[in-house]
Chains A and B, each alone.
Chain A
Amino acid sequence: MGLARQAAIVGVYEHPTRFAPNKTAFQLMAESARGALADAGLSLKEVDGLCSTGLGFGATGIVSLCEYLNLKPGFVDSTAIGGASFVAHAAHAAAAIAAGLCSVVLIVYGSTAASQRLAIGTAGIGSADPADQYETPFGPTTVASYALVAARHMHEYGTTAEQLAEIAVTTRMHAGLNPQAKYREPITVEDVLASRTIASPLRLLDCCIISDGAGAFVMTSAERARELRRRPIWLLGAGEAVGHGEGGLRDYLETAAAQSGRAALARAGVAHREIDLAMIYDSFTITVLVTLENLGFCRRGEGGSFVSGGRLRFDGALPVNTDGGGLSSNHPGMRGVFLVIEAVRQLRGEAGPAQVRDCRIALVHGTGGTLGLRHSGATLVLAN
């Protein structure tokens, strides 16, 4: 038995803050929980499942968050696969609900990355894992790992900096339609090309911003969802995957999205042409380009022309990141939760000036980790 229409998203809340130096991450999460539960018409005491992770989460951070919210859920999941985590949590929550392990799951994220001045993309990325010793001495950063993918894509397919810049320009245009977005002034391809290089070929405006931020969504069973105040947004299918060095043999233009996307679409029984909106994790412009290729929206190598000509605009052929994305709206270290929230707003018809016409099916894809070293992918197909 699959997960299609076994569980629904019944409440969402995106915290309006982009800079909260006087708040803690846990406070932002509690405020987001309050907003999402109010949206759903549910009370905190009805929550019997909790999913979260975070940049500052300790090994048992999920237990600390339960304590902070004074929850005693029967299901917890703090799967930590980087920014894709909250996309994966949605699938895990649906599976837990379908299996009868719990009935109301709160998925929540909050971070004060900006007010703590975290150098998320341009600090070293050391760990205690065995591969670290073969990498850290050479100075990889998060940006540089994505840059290695971008450089290879340009080499193999002639993809240009202008084509990557198109993604940043379209996303900024969407941010201009979102009053809560951190950066709303329109930019041009020339602006992107004139911004300073962080790790070639990626320039400052190819990179996601760093903000504070938080958000939450609530999932419940089909039966329960039908009794609640908001139109249920159904999970049709989900997939997860990882990408890594493959013993030294990896093709670095193939990403986890190929595996997770194929699985999610097959489980949902949905074809690419039926998708009205794609929420694609935009840590960097190259992330969007290779993810669209790997998800099968275009063929490998064709991403550069695919993202050009306004195709990704909210009124284009494949609207992408209509909230302004991590490139312009918010990126508090991990962004998966916001991909889901914007997809729900669009599927409810509540996306304001960036509303996609007749939005019925949305694909959400989170990418976590460092694309050119090791990363994760999680895909959802959602429908109203």
Chain B
Amino acid sequence: MSQQANVPSRPRPRIDEESRPWWEALGRRELYLQRCLECGALRWYPRALCPECLCDRTQWVRASGRGKVYSLTTVHQNQTPGFAGATPYLLAYVELEEGVRILTNVVNCRPEEATIGASVEAVFQDIGNQTGLLSFQPTRQQA
């Protein structure tokens, strides 16, 4: 196919008090992950207590926004409102440089331009209320 991978008009995330700093950082176009101040474990997804040691002393550490595609699928069928007209789109796990694998979309490219192992960089999309969504696009120029 030759069309661009679409950017779906996505359902809004159901933000809660545990997750608000993540979403507000994305609203500032910044990426922060949680690290446990007791055992040092980095964790995904954000939550109040470290799932390794149940400590609730947490540090938000800045992440680079660079990563590699860990797995990738081109979705051709999704009946959910907001996605039904957005197919095909790319759903992926991106492994961040910091080591965690997160579910996301790969955007701003044709489906065949994205492959497992490809370098990608963060793309921030404003979704209002000073929050944002994190997608990725193929890295255009290598550092």
B78 touches A123 (CB 8 A): yes
User: With the chains together, A138 CA to B11 CA distance in Å?
Assistant: 8
- Could you say which residues of chain A place their CB within 8 Å of the CB of B89? 139
Taking A144-B75, A199-B77 as contacts, is the C-beta distance between A136 and B11 under 8 angstroms? yes
B40 within 8 A of A: no
A133 within 8 A of B: yes
Taking A134-B13, A140-B103, A155-B117 as contacts, is the C-beta distance between A252 and B93 under 8 angstroms? yes
Interface size class of B (residues with CB under 8 A): 35 or more
A73 to chain B, nearest CB (A): 37
A139 in complex: contacting residue of B44, B47, B105, CB < 8 Å:
B105
B76 touches A248 (CB 8 A): no
B105 to chain A, nearest CB (A): 5
B101 touches A151 (CB 8 A): no
* A contact patch SS: mixed
Binds B, one of A28-36, A124-132, A158-166, A291-299: A124-132
Could you say which of A132, A135, A138 has the most chain B C-beta atoms within 10 Å of its C-beta?
A138
A247 touches B100 (CB 8 A): yes
A135 touches B75 (CB 8 A): no
B79 touches A151 (CB 8 A): no
Taking A130-B19, A198-B77 as contacts, is the C-beta distance between A138 and B44 under 8 angstroms? no
Closest to A132 in B: B14
A149 within 8 A of B: yes
Taking A144-B91, A149-B71 as contacts, is the C-beta distance between A137 and B10 under 8 angstroms? yes
Taking A247-B41, A247-B100, A248-B101 as contacts, is the C-beta distance between A122 and B78 under 8 angstroms? yes
User: With the chains together, A201 CA to B71 CA distance in Å?
Assistant: 11
B98 to chain A, nearest CB (A): 9
Task: Give a binary string over B68-96; 1 marks a CB under 8 Å from any A CB, 0 the rest.
Answer: 00111111111110110010010111000
List A residues 255-270 near B (Cβ within 8 Å): none
B133 within 8 A of A: yes
User: With the chains together, A251 CA to B78 CA distance in Å?
Assistant: 26
A141 within 8 A of B: yes
A123 touches B79 (CB 8 A): yes
B83 in complex: contacting residue of A139, A150, A372, CB < 8 Å:
A139
Taking A139-B75, A155-B116 as contacts, is the C-beta distance between A148 and B14 under 8 angstroms? no
A138 touches B10 (CB 8 A): yes
A137 touches B99 (CB 8 A): no
B55 to chain A, nearest CB (A): 14
A200 to chain B, nearest CB (A): 4
B43 within 8 A of A: yes
- Could you say which residues of chain A place their CB within 8 Å of the CB of B41? 247
- Could you say which residues of chain B place their CB within 8 Å of the CB of A249? 99-101
A120 to chain B, nearest CB (A): 10
B37 within 8 A of A: no
Between-chain CB contacts (< 8 Å), 15 pairs: A124-B78, A130-B45, A133-B13, A133-B19, A136-B14, A137-B10, A138-B103, A138-B105, A141-B78, A147-B75, A198-B77, A247-B52, A248-B101, A249-B101, A252-B101
Q: Given A130-B16, A148-B91, A248-B44, list of 5 further CB < 8 A pairs?
A: A122-B79, A123-B78, A137-B10, A137-B133, A138-B105
Chain B interface (Cβ < 8 Å from any Cβ of A): 8, 10-16, 18-19, 41-45, 47, 51-52, 70-80, 82-83, 86, 89, 91-93, 99-105, 116-117, 133, 135
The list of the 10 closest CB pairs from A to B, nearest first, reads A248-B44, A248-B100, A124-B80, A133-B13, A147-B73, A152-B71, A137-B10, A155-B116, A200-B74, A148-B71
